[in-house]
Chain A
């Protein structure tokens, strides 16, 4: 009893302070920004809270690999957060299970977000079944980071003596030969290029070759089509036949780049913060070279979505919040992102962001993963096929054919379950 008497006043005070007043709207905001981007989004949310004392934001961050599971389970159990971040390619999965609110009525009007300020291809990626479902906060394309010191040492420079990153396949292959050095006298081996995340690296090249993953109606996998096989074959040959690129089995590529042992890597703009913190590496950023027949690179967008049953004051608060995040996406870009609002990209502040500006040049031809309800199952098959091909454990033809067969079986299963697969 004595203990209860002692503890009760303290608990009562804590409980009182944790309770928000009746006129304050609470919004739960879930995202997967657990890296340096977590600090950036926190600063923006704090700024919003200061300017909007009538809205209380409870932000929850969790790693992306667990995020979608938890978001999904929360949705199934009826505890979906009011505002959440999803990638555009996962939209159909969440739309199909009725977690996401379409936002046609929240854009295009006075004091609302203006769709014409967005790149058309990025805006279109948020469309599904004739409706708009999310506000893209950024676009994070794959681009090229290169080591300026190694380029200079190999004599790969322009007329002014500045390092010259490759822009096409011939230059790229020539650079690989000039940058490759075997291990010698205690110096580790040096390579012109190494695959980092095989999923995004190969997808960008596959799209440059004209390859696709699905037919137009998304009812059959085209992973084993000739352009796709040619693209993966070219990637595998770089490692296995030409020996110009190290095997992923022997190398931690991103670490290797940061150690100054790799001349070029294709990585996302989100890796920028690693390089910004590193002072002993003279690095440059550029769009991906044209390795196939058409310009293309992989990209994804963090997009802001709302819970399907939001209405009244909660909807008004959530709309104000996502508009604030979108309006302030230049702050977000500082952390290693490219804003999707053209008006923001036309600002001097954005032009001063070197790597972001270089990567942003690719926006007109960025290629998202196809938005499907079975996106995770499809990506797991794609990853395995590419890994088998790049390690020489299966020919690209066999690996991709096997994956395509399994993906077709997944599509058939989803259709049996009543999913509307077509775009």
Chain B
């Protein structure tokens, strides 16, 4: 019996092996290498580095530099503003859309689900370029429409508007994913709950607040956590649409990390900032798990 159970374990690990190999080589090792790099001075542009690329141990110097760097702080707070605007808006909008679609009979639901999910399938470079034209001050479709009312909005050129414009585009681009997940969650709620509630006299919004939303709690947690992690990692939208302008107000942290690492080739400093971002995301995710976990 003993040897039989051992063989079963071994077979299980064998099935896992391809994933473990990929996970190790493409996630664990790069993460560990990034952590090692964050304690090093590793500048590809250094004359000493030409040819041999030596890395020098500098302890926490890269982390200290990040905390004292005004552009790091600016890009960090720009990221927080993006997260603060995008995540609640995505959650509310996707919930409303999912609830609305769930009331539609099954056969017609497909069209709405496809329509809402379609933008998610477009790559960010295409979606970003299209929206940059939508927002263009002179020829943009939005300002052309608003001109009928004598209004002209500096969508991408004003510091108060630029991040909001990116958030609006992001909502259009990403809301489809959470909607599909929430719809699946809504489908899982047993009809018996609603029937019992109907007998007790609960109708309309009371059903939503007392049955649908509490039952969706684990799905909502999943959506919120994924959304927050994704929002912290925002890069493509500001990179394509505003390139961080105006006044660096839309230069998010990943853009700054990219600039430092791959324009200025300061790999150690870039790795340190990446690890700070990683820790911040981890802390936010833990807080969300705590707040939203099922009692």
Q: Residues of A at under 8 Å CB distance from B?
A: 69, 72, 76, 93, 96-98, 248-252, 255-256, 259, 373, 376-377, 380, 384, 387-388, 391, 393, 402, 406, 417-420
Contacts and interface: CB of A to CB of B under 8 A. Distances in A.
Given A250-B154, A387-B246, A418-B47, A393 B159 contact: yes
A96 B138 contact: no
A251 B246 contact: no
Contacts of A96: 45, 47, 50
A373 B136 contact: no
A384 B74 CA distance: 13
Interface in B166-213: none
Contact of B247 (A76, A97, A384, A402): A384
A380 B46 CA distance: 19
Nearest to B157: A249
B154 A97 contact: no
B45 A97 contact: yes
Contact of A417 (B46, B136, B158, B245): B46
Interface in B92-138: 136-138
B245 A93 contact: no
B44 interface: yes
Given A248-B157, A384-B248, 11 more contacts: A69-B262, A72-B45, A76-B53, A249-B154, A250-B154, A373-B45, A384-B247, A391-B246, A417-B43, A417-B48, A419-B47
A11 B49 CA distance: 41
A420 B48 CA distance: 12
Nearest to A377: B264
Given A97-B50, A249-B158, A418-B47, A388 B138 contact: no
Nearest to B243: A65
Contacts, number: 64
B265 interface: yes
Interface of B: 41, 43-51, 53, 70, 136-139, 154, 157-159, 245-248, 259, 262-265
Given A98-B51, A255-B138, A393-B159, A387 B247 contact: yes
A387 B245 contact: yes
Contacts of B247: 384, 387-388, 391, 393
Contacts of B158: 249
Closest 9 A/B residue pairs (Cβ): A249-B157, A417-B46, A97-B50, A98-B50, A96-B47, A418-B48, A418-B47, A249-B154, A252-B138
A384 B256 CA distance: 14
A96 B43 CA distance: 13
Nearest to A99: B50
Contacts of A250: 137, 154, 157
A249 B247 CA distance: 11
B264 A376 contact: yes
Contact of A69 (B49, B53, B263): B263
B67 to A, nearest CB: 14
Contacts of B43: 417
A248 B70 CA distance: 24
A371 to B, nearest CB: 15
A39 B254 CA distance: 35
Nearest to A247: B157
B51 A252 contact: no
A207 to B, nearest CB: 24
Contact of A93 (B41, B45, B48, B262): B45
Contacts of B53: 76
Contacts of A377: 264
A136 to B, nearest CB: 24
Which of B46, B154, B262 has most chain A Cβ within 10 Å?
B46
Nearest to B41: A417
Nearest to B266: A413
Given A252-B136, A373-B45, A72 B265 contact: yes
Contacts of B49: 97
Nearest to A405: B70
A92 B157 CA distance: 34
Residue of A93, A96, A384, A388 ringed by the most chain B CB atoms within 10 A: A384
Contacts of B245: 387
Nearest to A416: B41
A388 B46 CA distance: 31
Given A98-B51, A393-B159, A393-B247, A418 B46 contact: yes
A255 B50 CA distance: 43
12 contacts: A69-B262, A76-B44, A98-B51, A249-B158, A250-B137, A255-B138, A256-B138, A387-B245, A387-B247, A391-B246, A393-B247, A417-B48
A262 B46 CA distance: 45
A97 B47 CA distance: 5
Nearest to A376: B263
A98 B136 CA distance: 43
Contacts of A391: 246-247
A373 B51 CA distance: 17
B273 to A, nearest CB: 16
Contacts of A388: 247
A38 to B, nearest CB: 20
Contacts of A373: 45
A388 B71 CA distance: 14
Contacts of A376: 263-264
Contacts of B159: 393
Residue among A248, A249, A376, A377 with the highest chain B CB neighbour number at 10 A: A249
B125 to A, nearest CB: 13
Nearest to B137: A252
A251 B46 contact: no
